[in-house]
Amino acid sequence: MSDITSKRRPNLLGVHSLDHFSIAVPDLSQAADFYDAFGLVTKAEGSSLALQTHGSDHSWGKLVEGPKKQLHHLSFAAYADDLPRFKERLEQRGIKLLSPPVGLESDGLWFHGHDGVLTEICVADKSSPDVASVFGPGDTESPARGTYSRSKAPRVYPRRMSHVAIFTPDVGGAIAFYSDVLGLRLSDRSADIVAFLHGVHGSDHHMIALVKSGNSGFHHCSWDIGSAHEVGLGASHMAGRGHDRGWGLGRHVLGSNYFHYVRDPWGSYSEYSAGMDYVPSSVDWQGTDQPVEDAMFLWGPNPPEDFAHNYETP
């Protein structure tokens, strides 16, 4: 899969990456414990907690403390010469520009997006992949032995963030907004229940997913790893740390990735993901609209009854 590469697609205005997400949580120390166990690097940045992957100083997530878990903002990244064009597009759509939130230094364009979600378009390096992630069978003990003893099982460390999923009362309206304003494209959907959008300059099958709910909110963040074997190792490690609620091991239909979701302390999820479809900038992906019963997962256990429940209240 690693031979699929992508370059900037000319003459199309679109964000190239989801730079980071931000959520408020009641306890940053509890958040640090959870994400450290998950295999991320947690780093204090002023009054917030940054989520990074080992070997990279990019902050994929920024957590702030608040009275309850709540989606704070989404930040999308664009090429520098596209930022004035995005400003013009926002003005044409009658979308009011805002000052950055208190405590954040940013030269980006801030506005209230679909469902009023605070959104930024900033200039930053492309963090969406330019090549399909390497996916393999996982490690082995030796040429003679296919695996190792449980006590010697290695830790799993995500390589990068793959995507986030957010709740919305209006999946169709959200598709229209993110396509028209940010230049994302629909990858696949299932009626008005869920939809997946990718970037025009090359990205995973989705950099953002939309999940039907009565109000907006944060459903999960997803992290790229190298094999289905690692998905299972990550799930086992998290269960051993007391985080045994979730969903997996399974394989998705839309996106094709192997998955295991681990429920965080606030009712949302972090996903180990491996082998997701990749959409190069040169490809006009032909999205599908599949029945819900045929689209959620190819195999695996049934999801928890409250998997798509939004615990964020307006």
pLDDT higher than threshold 50 for residue 1: no
Query: How much of the chain exceeds pLDDT 90, in percent?
Result: 85
pLDDT in tens, 234-282: 999 999 999 999 999 999 999 999 999 999 999 999 999 999 999 999 9
Answer yes or no: are the C-beta atoms of 77 and 125 closer than 8 Å.
Answer: yes
Specify the pLDDT at position 272. Answer: 98
Helix boundaries (H) for the chain: 28-38, 83-92, 171-180, 228-240, 292-295
146 pLDDT exceeds 80? no
- Residue-wise pLDDT for 193-235, tens only, equals 999 999 999 999 999 999 999 999 999 999 999 999 999 999 9
Residue 285 pLDDT > 50, yes or no?
A: yes
CA angle 162, 167, 171 (to 5 degrees): 100
> Residue 151 carries which DSSP code?
G
CA 75 to chain centre: 12
Q: How far apart are CA 17 and CA 37, in angstroms?
A: 26
Model pTM score? 0.94
Q: Which of 131, 126, 132, 77 is nearest to 106 (CA)?
A: 77
**How many angstroms separate the CA atoms of 246 and 260, rounded?**
7
pLDDT of residue 46: 86
Question: How many residues in total does the chain contain?
Answer: 314
Check residue 161 and report its DSSP letter.
E
Reduced 3-state DSSP string for 232-291: HHHHHHHHHCCCCCEEEEEECCCCCCEEEEEECCCCCEEEEEECCCEECCCCCCCCEECC
Residue 142: the pLDDT is 62
User: How many CB atoms lie under 10 A from the CB of residue 172?
Assistant: 13
Q: What is the mean pLDDT of residues 58-75?
A: 96
- Picking from 103-107, 154-158, 188-192, which range would have the lowest pLDDT averaged per residue? 103-107
Taking the CB of residue 111, how many other CB atoms lie within 10 A of it?
A: 17
Q: Which domains does the chain have, with CATH numbers?
A: 17-127+158-295 (3.10.180.10)
Span of 1-10, 42-51, 161-170 with lowest mean pLDDT: 1-10
Cis peptide before 249 (omega within 30 of 0): yes
Residue 2: per-residue pLDDT? 46
Residue recorded with tokens 């390096």: 125
pLDDT digits (tens, 9 = 90+) for 106-143: 899 999 999 999 999 999 999 999 999 999 887 766 66
What phi, psi does 23 have (nearest 5°)? -130, 155
